[in-house]
Structure 1
Amino acid sequence: MSKSEKLTQFLVMIVAVCAVVVSVWQVRISQQHNKLSVMPYLDFFSGWASDSTWRLTLMNEGIGPAIIKSTELTYDEKVYTHWDAVLDAANIRDRRVNSTNVGNDSPFKIDKEIVFLEIKNDPLNPVTFGIDVLIRYTSIYGGEIQELTIGF
């Protein structure tokens, strides 16, 4: 085998190895793109539902479903997992009109909207209750845990 044939075979092998490296790189980029293409984005919206009712709504505005890992309701530095307990602790359970508890590892689809809490209040003299809400969630691919918080 001549030197030129050996050189040609060596260069062909280098080109083949480069093609494999580029293919692996493309697959990784494609996987990252697929994960980003289904990222959830949970957000709270609050406002007056009527003349005497304040509403806290939870909505997924992202382009993929969320997995809610945990929900923490905090009042007076104590953590609760459901509305009955925190509203009892704050002594305002009788003001509740509607509430929704979200369990751990619950799926939350795209464009889903729930009334998280609806409570009687006076828009002319609104009362803050000292309750903080923390929701931890992730995408269906797992990965980094996102946190959503609000206090009222």
Structure 2
Amino acid sequence: MGKIKFNWNLEKILGISAMSISFITLVIFIYQTNLMSKQNYLSILPYIQVSTSNNPADNSFSLRLLNHGVGPAIIESVTMIYDGKPTDLTDHNNEILPYLISLDPTLDSIQNYSIATLNKGIAIPANSAYSFLEVKNSQKDYNLLTSALFRLEEQGLDYKIVYRSIQNERWMVSNTSDGPVKLD
């Protein structure tokens, strides 16, 4: 059998070296692009939390969505669950108080309140709060709302809020989760 003989010369060595350097550069470029993509996703990560503010001295109570993340959170859906029955908040004009009144009609007598809708598509900017139910300046209304909410929670009132980032990553937060749970 004949032996294959390589004829190495300076041109072949330089050509192979140039191709090797180009290949290594391509691998590094792909790796850096992957890192930049991951960094971009992390730089717009919303982190929603439902917060209650209860101040008996001022007779004020509020429910708010806080976004502790670094990007906007866009609401997709709000589902309330009571007695094992899920109800989409759109059935109540995306407002929490009409839903609560459907569970406890005595709440219909609350007069000093402000509400905001939790419509699909509402964007909550990073490091901001969105108040969707507030009662203040009335001891009667404060006592009525707080006692009804406490009683309903004891009876199993739950919520699930699904939201997404501008990168279309989806999360769900509920009163039974320790924080946002990534979906998909």
TM-score class normalised by the smaller sequence: 0.7 to 0.9
Q: Which moved more, 1:34-43 or 1:48-57?
A: 48-57
> Is the strand fraction higher in 1 or 2?
1
Q: Could you say which residue in structure 2 is the equivalent of 1:70?
A: 77
**Structure 1 position 136 matched with structure 2 position 162:** yes
Structure 1 range deviating more: 93-102 or 108-117? 93-102
- CA, structure 1 residues 78+34, in 2 after alignment: closer, same or farther (shift >3 Å)? closer
* TM-score of the pair, normalised by structure 1: 0.81
TM-align CA RMSD? 2.6
2:143 aligned partner: 122
Mapping for residues 48-63 of structure 1, pairs under 5 Å: 48-51=54-57, 52-63=59-70
Task: Give the counterpart letter for 1:122 in structure 2.
Answer: N
Instruction: Answer yes or no: is 1:47 the counterpart of 2:53.
Output: yes
Whose radius of gyration is greater, 1 or 2? 2
Q: Number of residues paired by the alignment?
A: 149
Residue 120 of structure 2: SS of its match in structure 1? coil
Percent identical pairs in the alignment equals: 21
**Unmatched 5+ stretches in structure 1:** none
Task: In structure 2, list runs of 5 or more residues that go unmatched.
Answer: 1-6, 136-140, 177-184
Structure 1 runs, 4 residues or longer, greater than 6 Å off? none
What is the aligned counterpart of 1:94 among 109, 114, 119?
109
Partner of 2:175: 150
TM-score (norm 2): 0.68
